[in-house]
Every structure is written in C-alpha cells, then in structure tokens.
Chains A and B, each alone.
Chain A
Amino acid sequence: MAGESNGAAGFGSSIRRREDPELITGRAKYTDDLQLAGMVYCTILRSDYAHAGINSIDTSEAEALDGVLGVYTAKDIEASGVPGGVPVGWLLPGLKTPEHYMLAKDTTRYVGDGVAIVVAEDQYTAHDALELIYVDYEPRDGVADPKKATADGAPLVHDDAPNNIAFDWEIGDKESTDAAFANAAHVASLDIVNNRLIPNAMEPRAALADYNNITGELVLYMTTQNPHIHRLLMSLASLGLPEHKIRVIAPEVGGGFGSKIHHYADEAIASWASMQVGRPVKWTATRTETYITDAHGRDHVTHGEMAIDADGRFIGLRVDTYAAMGAYLSTFAPAVPTYLYGTLMSGEYDLPAIYCHVYGVFTHTVPVDAYRGAGRPEATFIVERLVDEAARVTGLDPAEIRRRNFISPDAFPYQTQVALAYDSGNYIGALDKALEAIGYDDFRKEQAAAREQGKYLGLGLSTYIEACGLAPSAVVGSLGAQAGQWESAVVRVHATGKVTVYSGCSGHGQGHETTFAQIVASALGVPYDDIDVVEGDTGSMPHGWGTYGSRSAATGGSAIASAAEKVVDKARTIAAHLLEAAEEDIEFEDGNFFVKGSPDQSQSLPDVALQAYLAHNLPKGIEPALEATSFYDPANFVYPFGTHIAIVEVCSQTGNVTLQRYLAVDDVGNVINPMIVDGQVHGGIAQGIGQSLYETAVYDEGANLLSGTMLDYAVPKAHFMPSFETDRTVTPCPHNPLGVKGVGEAGSIASPAAVVNAVVDALSPFGVTHIDMPVTSEKVWNAMK
C-alpha cells in the first residue's frame, strides 16, 4: 500500500504527500500515543482564580491516595535546586520581566496558573488526586481588558509593573506624522478591538519525559514546533541540566499555529517530575486545560487614523495600541505586537509618514504570544480597515484608492517608514487578477440591484503584505531577540546514492518530508523516492530554530538548497578526477556529471558517491564520503502579498452573515508544491474567517474565562466555511536560492480584513462604518437598528 513511485517529483510538482499513508491508517505516533516501560502520569492543579494569594496548600489527602507517587508544589521545585524559570526570549528596551516560576509560589495571576503537581501510576488516579489537594486561596481583584488594566487603581498583576505596563514602544516618526495630519484634506479614524483567540491545534499539548538518573540524561518527547529552542530553555532556565544531556524529540505533531513554539511550564514540570520519581512521566493536557494554558493570540485595543490629501493619497498613518501580554511574558510575546506589528503598518502603500505606539500590558489572563500570523494579522486589519474607511470619507471606490496608493512595481527595493525594506512585489498585478476573477464591476451592479430589493450584499478587499521567513539573525538580535533565526540542513548522500536530509525545521502538518525531498530531487537529480527527510530530534541533526513565522521554505528550504549545492560541488571535483578532466569542464545535469560536449561519458551522482565512500581513488586533498552541512542565515525577511476578496450577504431580519464567496490571489514567490501551498492558504483563510465571524475568548470583568471549553468557543465547523477560490501571481524572492517566500500565515493575515470590509460594505446603507470581530448576528442586528 505504501510508497509513492514518482521519479520526477521535483520542485514545482503537486505530488501527493509522503506523510499521509501513516496518518490515514492511524499508524503515525503522536506524543500521547507513546508508552514507555514503567511510565507514570502527571497532572497539574490549576488556579480557579484570576488573581489570588496562596495561604497554604494541603496535599496530604492526595498523597495518601492509592497509586499516587508524589504531590509537589513550588516549594518542592525550589528545594530541588533547579532554576525553575519560564523565561521570556525577546527583550525590548525597558521591558519589565517579572519572575515566572514553573509553579505559582505565593500568588496566582490567571485562571490556569499552575499550583501543584500530582504523579500517579495511572491517569485516572492522577486526575482523582487533583481533587484531594486543598488550596487556601485569598481571592483578589483581577483585570482582563488591556486598556482598563492601565488605568490608575487597576489591580496590579505584578507589583513591580506600575499601571500593568510591561513595555512602552514606538516606531516611525511622530513629528512628521502629526504634521501630515495637520495638512490632511481628509482623516479616516477607527477604534478597533482585535479579538483574543485560542489556538486550538487539534492535538492537545503533551510531554513524555524520561530521565535516566544513572546517566543524567533526559529524553523528552513533546508537542513542539522547535525542539532545539525547547532544549535550550529547558537547560538554561528550567531544569539546569546540561544542554548535551537533554534530547528533545518531536514525534508526529498535530498542528501548532504558534501554540507549540513557546516554552511553557508544563513540559518542564513533566521533566522535573521524571527526575523526582526516576521513571518516565507523561503529561497530556485535556482540551479544557489547553484553553487555560496554551498561549492565546491577538487581544489588542487600538485607535488608528489615516491622513489623506485632496487627491486621495495617503500622507500619514497614526496608530495607538494596547496589547495584552497576559499574566506573564511568554517566549516571544514582546516581539509580536512590536516588531511583527508596527513594522507592517505601511501595508502595500507608499506611506510617507507613519507613527505607531504600543503599550504592552499585563492582564490577569492566559499569556498571549504568537498565533498564526502573530502581529501581522492585527496590523493588516488596521491598515485595510482604515483604507476602506479612507475610501468612504473620500468617496473613492475601495479598489481605486488602493490602486492610487500602492507602491509601484518599479519602486523595489522599497524602504518603508517603519524599518522594513520590501524586496519585491507587484501589488497591482494581484489586485487586477483578483478583481477580474471575482467579476468586480458586475458585482457592484448586482449589489445595487439587490439593495433595491432589500437584500444586502457586500464585497471586501484585503490587499495585504506580510514579512516572514524569520529571520536575519543580526537584525532580530539588534531588536531584542535572544535567539538566532538562521536555519540548518545536512544533505547526506549515502554510498548507494540514496539521500538523507536533516533539517532544523520541525513540521507539524506542513508536509516538509515531501517538499524538502522535492527540493533535493531537483538539486541533485536523484529520484524523489531515494530521498528521506528527517526533522524534529535534537539528537539527530544540527541546531535549528524550528517551524513558525512562515520560515521553513525560505530558511530551511534555502539551507537544504545550499547544502545540496555544496554536495554537487564536491561531487564535481571527484567526478572530474574520475573522468580525467578539468573541473571547470564538468557539467552537471539530471544527476549526471560529464565533460562538456561529451555526455556519453558520464559519472552519475550515485557512482561518485560510491567512489567517495570507498575513497580508493580520490583527488588530492578531498576527504572521503559525500555530505554537506549548511547554516543559512537569510539576508532579509521575505514579503508575500496578495489580494483577498470576500463576498457576504447580510440578513436584514436576523443580522446573520453568510459568506458567499472567498477568493484569494496570493504571491508567495516560487512554489515547491502547488497542492500543499493551496492547502496552507485554505487553512489560513479558515482561521481568519474564524476570527472574523465566530471565535473569541471572553473574559468577564473579574478575568474569569467564560469561553473556557470547546463547547463555549466556536472553532469553525465545515458548514461555517464556503469553498475557497485560490490563484497566484509569482514574483520570486530575489535574495534566497529558491526564490520562495512563506505561505503558512498569509491566509490568516489577509482574511479578517476581507470579511469585515465585506460586512461593512453590505451595511453601508445603514451608516455602519465599523464593526468589531467576531461579527456575530447580534452585533450586526444591533448595528442595523
């Protein structure tokens, strides 16, 4: 049954995924599917209060329960002497970094904050014992709204962060932007809440920690998007074990969307517990537990304004944002509403003056960090909503005002006013293609006719750009990252000509085993089936930074291409020796080396590989074997862009919004596997539609999570979605060897603005100028009144 025989499955082919046979038969093993001899289970007691002092914790009854091996609190972790920290990995100037310990010591700061640990022989007992732990809490007031949290007198999350402000950040030029507004013929102005989201990767987070107290080595299987980052932080901040004594393995991972980037306390707790009991310890989050522990996304309160001149040209953009950090600073949290947000404020537009100010705010909520798109959906939503509002105040058509303000295709590289230098783009090309495909002019006629009959149709444009392919290491280092962002690859040609590729990326649904093999099949001229791709094991491959920020093709793929090129260079030297020719006279085509003009006398790559391993007859100074390692540090971010269009119908009786069509024209540069790229676009769009119409994390005034289970939070179902129409333009990235950009996040970045712009367009006869997400029937119905 298994196996895909397709020797010509190189770069650009829509070959089916080699990952799938194991997944469709149930053979693939995710973390919770693994069992080790002697394995026991760990559960974590979590605070029911958003904010409370801990007077005492009585664990005696839980400890007495049959099958319980141990019950632990923060005091036990402290007594063990491990560092116990859960640190933030991105430091902004002036950032407040209050201590985040693996368990709450004397104060809980959000519903979900860990308080105690149970280790038991079986998982039912481990859960039973949680109910026998008695915590004497002293409840205190909490605050969940990021703007209200900054008010004088608001309950403080951390005593050393006055007004709950974690950081005060700005980008752009305030003076020139204020001047633009002073000279503006028109001003578009909106107050926007970007709703808090819960990631909901279908596989809940899990860890299986196996500490060997004889060798001092920890093997940690876990749900991770970046095993090396987790190993680093486990070693340095949480456990204190030497880095080389920790091996982190990502088995099959069931989605991430950012939520499995971050270093949480829980996987460190399972590891620490294994160190205590000397047996393998498994921790698996229940879904309800993921709702109060997986880092949430978005949660901004923003005022945005666009200054426009008399000709409908944008002359200034001003943005003021309160961005929730939650109770503690998660791994990359400070970067998300700053360098992944303020830097995107130019959108696709030639904007001469921009100023963006952001307060990062502690709230008594689950920490907020990167979630699919991370900062860029929030920025795109503001820019694209303001562009539509600018169209309204100037009386220009939304497509026309975009066309008038786009960065021209001949203006690249384009330096924005907010740090980024866009490398390439053709924004008009994608817009025109999308408008034609949707039938823009015909739609406007249909819309007018429908309105006559009391039927409200709306069309929303989102002409987006994003910066991804994270990232040039020196650049992110200068901005506060405590990490590099290059990527590694090893391309190993075996003696028989078969190939194993090791990547420092760590896929969890993206199909890397397929697409990375396609890259190598084209680069080496080796059959696709002769190439294996290995990821996700710190014991197997060089350090890598993982999969997030739409980086795997642009950085990991480029690393693989670079390593393959080194392999070809070495093989060429050997082939020249074997063919008794000068190296510069050797051509390489379809996996064969031959002397220019004499293709009949050739050495195939497998021929050369065999000679390289035998090493009986190698040129002077050439080492045996045939493999190469590359550490690829990108020269710049990559900048995918495109036009998304949503068409909605709004029911004037109920306020119900029906998404009639959704069309996406994306430009992600060269495409390795069109089928997989389309799939990534579909998934991103669906998450953006989820944000715009259905999903939101709701906290009450006391910071209790009301949407705390899958029953209460609307993860979109199949019938919530239309079929998607997808198309592409291709503007290759000029600075990486494959010409690729990223695609994983594009859909979630573009789609919220497209959907909400469509709803606002449909509601324009009612004088509606903005409506916050999720656009529920209730909100629409009230807006129409």
Chain B
Amino acid sequence: MGISIELEVNGASVSEEVEPRLLLAHLLREELGLTGTKIGCDTSQCGSCTILLDGQAVKSCTVLAVQADGSEITTIEGLANGEYHPMQQAFWDNHGLQCGFCTPGMIISCVDLLSTNPQPSEDEIRHGLEGNLCRCTGYHNIVRAVQTAAETMNG
C-alpha cells in the first residue's frame, strides 16, 4: 500500500504516494525526473546520490522516501539560482570533473563541507570528501575547486 508524503524539493511542494520501500534516490530520479542525482553503487560508498536534506548532505540511496516526509530537499538541479553556485563555477574553472557522473553528488558534498568549515585546509578537504568517490580526476582538481570556492564564498 502506498504511503502519502509531502516534501519540498528545490523550492517546490511535492505530494506523492509511495511504496514504503522506495528509496529517496528513486523518488527523485524516477518519479520527479530529477536525474541529476546519480546512483553509482548499492552499498552507500560512492556518494553520487548525495543531496541536501534539511540543509545537510545525505546519500539519498540510503534514505527511504517516507523518511523524507516533511523535509526540504535540494538536489544539484536546485543549487544554481539564476547563476552557478560558486562551487559549480569553481568545478568548471578548475577542471574539477571529467566524466561528470560523480560531480552532482561531489558538488553537494563540497557545499556541505564549506557550510561547516568555511576555510578548510587541503587535508580537511580530502578527509571531508571521504564519502564521495571520483574515478577520473584523482581528486587533484576537485581539491583546487573547493579551495577556489572557499575563497570566493569567503571573499
């Protein structure tokens, strides 16, 4: 039987009737068409599905849709507000992505990182991205992007 949930996704109200076992990642991707959120694993390792739930980064493959009832969600599609978020801009400027598959989740995690630690050291950035895997960049330019975004956002 379906369970009714109401939530706010990227500023818009959403009402859905969902299976109890439906993952939030699948709700976003399959029901709401927000495919910017990626699914790269089935063990909560890769972080490609990271979104902001009530302002905090979570892996949406590890949250049931019913658990998100009443919450506010921001996905990569909702991050830019007419212009790129400074983190998106920094990823572009620093070649912080190649295939782009990990990028939405990575950018969301980086935004979350700076919200708790606005001026992280390189070591803090690397450890702060513990939950997100990238296979293309070797992380070098992702670290540069976070440093650039930190400068911009603190500027």
State in angstroms the CA–CA spacing of A666 and B139 once bound together: 19
Which of B1-9, B52-60, B119-127 is near enough to bind chain A? B119-127
Which residues of chain B (23-62) have a CB below 8 Å from chain A?
Answer: 26, 29, 33-43, 45-46, 48
Known contacts A26-B35, A33-B29, A718-B130; A679 and B45 CB within 8 A of each other? no
Bound-state CA distance A256–B102 (Å) is 13
Contact in complex: B139, A28 (CB < 8 Å): no
With contacts A24-B88, A25-B88, A124-B19 taken as known, whether A202 is within 8 angstroms of B137 at the C-beta atoms is: no
Would you call A20 and B126 a contact (CB within 8 A)? no
Q: Is A540 an interface residue (CB 8 A)?
A: no
Q: Does B133 lie at the interface of the complex (its beta carbon under 8 Å from any beta carbon of A)? A: yes
Closest to A711 in B: B43
Is there contact, CB below 8 Å, between A24 and B84?
Answer: yes
Query: A409 — which chain B residues lie within 8 A by C-beta?
Result: none
Known pairs A1-B84, A287-B41; A20 contacts B100 (CB<8 A): yes
Contact, CB under 8 Å: B98 / A679: yes
B41 and A24 within 8 A (CB): no
**Is A510 an interface position by the 8 A CB rule?**
yes
* Residues from 708 to 751 in A contacting B, C-beta threshold 8 Å: 709-711, 715, 717-719, 721, 723-724, 747
Contact yes or no, A20 B135, CB < 8 A: no
Nearest CB on B from A486, distance (A): 26
Chain B's interface: helix, strand, loop or mixed, by majority? loop
**CB neighbours of A715 from chain B (8 A):** 45-46, 133, 135
B148 to chain A, nearest CB (A): 13
Which residue in A17, A124, A682 is a CB contact (below 8 Å) of B137? Answer: A682
In the complex, whether A30 has a CB less than 8 A from a CB of chain B is yes
Decide if A422 is an interface residue (CB 8 Å cutoff): no
> Are the C-beta atoms of B76 and A25 separated by less than 8 Å?
yes
Find B98's partner among A200, A287, A683 (CB 8 Å cutoff). Answer: A683
A26 touches B127 (CB 8 A): no
Which residues in A have their C-beta under 8 angstroms from that of B103?
A: 23-24
Any chain B CB within 8 A of the CB of A19?
A: yes
The reply on B114 being an interface residue by CB < 8 A is: no
Which of A24, A29, A253, A724 is packed against the most chain B CB atoms within 10 Å? Answer: A24
For residue A343, give the distance in angstroms from its CB to the closest CB of chain B: 28
Q: Does B99 contact A (CB under 8 A)?
A: yes
Asked if B136 contacts A683 (CB within 8 A), the reply is: yes
In the complex, chain B residues whose CB is within 8 Å of the CB of A685 = 138
Q: Are A253 and B99 in contact (CB under 8 A)?
A: yes
Instruction: Find out whether the CB atom of B76 lies under 8 angstroms from the CB atom of A287.
Output: no
How far is B134's CA from A676's CA once the two chains are assembled, in angstroms?
16
Chain A residue with the shortest CB-CB distance to B138: A686
Closest to B37 in A: A26
User: Are A202 and B77 within 8 A (Cβ)?
Assistant: no
Cβ contact within 8 Å between B123 and A16: no
Give the shortest distance, in Å, between A172 (CB) and chain B (any CB): 35
Which of B39, B48, B91, B101 is the one whose CB lies under 8 Å from A24? B91
B102 touches A202 (CB 8 A): yes
**Given contacts A25-B77, A254-B101, A710-B45, A202 and B40 within 8 Å (CB-CB):** yes
Residues of chain A within 8 A of B138, CB atoms compared = 682-687, 689, 721, 724, 747
Give min CB distance, B92 to chain A, whole Å: 5
Residue of A nearest to B128 (CB): A718
Cβ-defined contact, A723 with B141, below 8 A: no
Given the contacts A675-B95, A717-B130, A683 and B137 also touching, CB distance less than 8 Å: yes
> Could you say which residues of chain A place their CB within 8 Å of the CB of B107?
24
CA separation between A140 and B119, bound complex, in Å? 58
Most buried by A among B48, B104, B134: B134
Q: Given contacts A202-B134, A710-B41, is CB(A26)–CB(B36) below 8 Å?
A: yes
Interface mask (A558-580 → B, CB under 8 Å = 1, otherwise 0): 00000000000000000000000
Name the residue in A33, A676, A715, A718 with the highest tally of chain B Cβ atoms < 10 Å from its Cβ: A718
Bound Cα distance from A255 to B137, whole angstroms: 11
Q: Is residue A203 within 8 Å, beta carbon to beta carbon, of the partner chain?
A: yes
B63 interface residue (CB < 8 Å to A): no
B17 at interface, CB cutoff 8 A: no
Interfacial chain A residues near B79, Cβ < 8 Å:
25
Residue from B29, B82, B98 in contact with A511 in the complex, judged by beta carbons closer than 8 Å: B98
Does B73 touch A at the CB level, under 8 Å?
Answer: no
For A28, A508, A679, A687, the residue with the greatest tally of chain B CB atoms inside 10 Å of its CB is A679
**Which residues on B sit within 8 Å (CB–CB) of A123?**
26
**Within the complex, what minimum Cβ distance (angstroms) separates A321 from chain B?**
27
For B134, give the chain A residue with the smallest CB separation. A202
Please provide the chain B residues from 112 to 155 with a CB less than 8 Å away from any CB of chain A in the complex.
122-123, 125-127, 129-130, 132-143
Q: Which of chain A's residues have a CB closer than 8 A to the CB of B22?
A: 124
As a 0/1 sequence over residues 239 to 262 of chain A, the CB contacts with chain B under 8 angstroms (1 = contact) are: 000000000000011110100000
On whether the beta carbons of A719 and B130 are closer than 8 Å, the reply is yes
Residues of A within 8 A of B92 (CB): 16-17, 20-21, 24
CB of B65 within 8 Å of the partner chain: no
Nearest CB to that of A257 among chain B residues? Answer: B135
Q: Determine whether A6 belongs to the interface, using a CB cutoff of 8 Å to chain B.
A: no
Contact check, B88 vs A32: say whether CB atoms are below 8 A apart: no
* Distance, CA A27 to CA B140, complexed state (A): 24
Is residue A654 within 8 Å, beta carbon to beta carbon, of the partner chain?
Answer: no
A245, B103: Cα distance in complex, Å: 35
Contact, CB under 8 Å: B101 / A723:
no
A135 within 8 A of B: no
- Closest approach, in angstroms, between the C-beta of A639 and any C-beta of chain B? 24
How distant is the Cα of A29 from the Cα of B101 in the complex, in angstroms?
Answer: 10
Task: Kindly list chain A residues whose C-beta atoms are within 8 Å of the C-beta of B45.
Answer: 287, 710-711, 715
Docked CA distance A204–B36 (Å): 15
How far, in whole Å, are A35 and B21 apart by their CA atoms in the complex? 22
Closest to A285 in B: B42
Is A286 engaged at the interface, CB distance under 8 Å to the other chain?
Answer: yes
Which residues from B are CB-within-8-Å of A124?
A: 19, 21-22
Q: How distant is the Cα of A220 from the Cα of B59 in the complex, in angstroms?
A: 30
> Which residues of A in the span 1-24 have a Cβ within 8 Å of any Cβ on B?
1, 16-17, 19-24
* B contact residues around A287 at 8 Å (CB): 40-43, 45-46
B66 touches A (CB below 8 Å)? no
Known: A26-B36, A202-B40. A718 touches B143 (CB 8 A): yes
Task: Output the residue of A32, A204, A288, A685 with the most chain B CB within 10 A.
Answer: A204
The 8 Å CB contact of B141, one of A26, A28, A682, A719, is A682
- Distance (whole angstroms) from the CB of A744 to the closest CB of chain B: 10
Question: Which of A22, A254, A721 has the most CB atoms of chain B within a 10 A radius of its CB?
Answer: A254
The contact of B91 among A20, A22, A710, A718, by CB within 8 Å, is A20
In whole Å, how far is A165's beta carbon from the nearest beta carbon of chain B? Answer: 34
Which B residue sits closest to A32, measured CB to CB?
B39
Given A16-B93, A26-B75, A718-B142, the answer on whether A202 and B126 have CB atoms closer than 8 Å is no
4 closest Cβ contacts across the A-B interface? A26-B36, A254-B101, A686-B138, A509-B99
Instruction: A510-B98, A715-B133, A717-B139 are known; give 20 further A-B pairs, CB within 8 A.
Output: A20-B92, A20-B97, A23-B100, A24-B76, A24-B107, A25-B76, A26-B36, A28-B100, A201-B99, A201-B135, A204-B39, A252-B100, A253-B99, A675-B95, A689-B138, A717-B126, A718-B134, A718-B143, A723-B143, A724-B138
Residues of B at under 8 Å CB distance from A? 19, 21-22, 26, 29, 33-43, 45-46, 48, 75-77, 79-80, 82-84, 88, 91-93, 95, 97-104, 107, 122-123, 125-127, 129-130, 132-143
30 contacting pairs across A/B (C-beta < 8 A): A16-B95, A24-B104, A25-B80, A26-B34, A26-B37, A124-B22, A202-B99, A203-B99, A252-B100, A254-B101, A255-B101, A255-B136, A287-B41, A509-B98, A509-B100, A511-B98, A679-B141, A682-B140, A683-B138, A684-B138, A686-B138, A686-B139, A711-B43, A718-B127, A718-B134, A719-B123, A721-B138, A721-B139, A724-B140, A747-B138
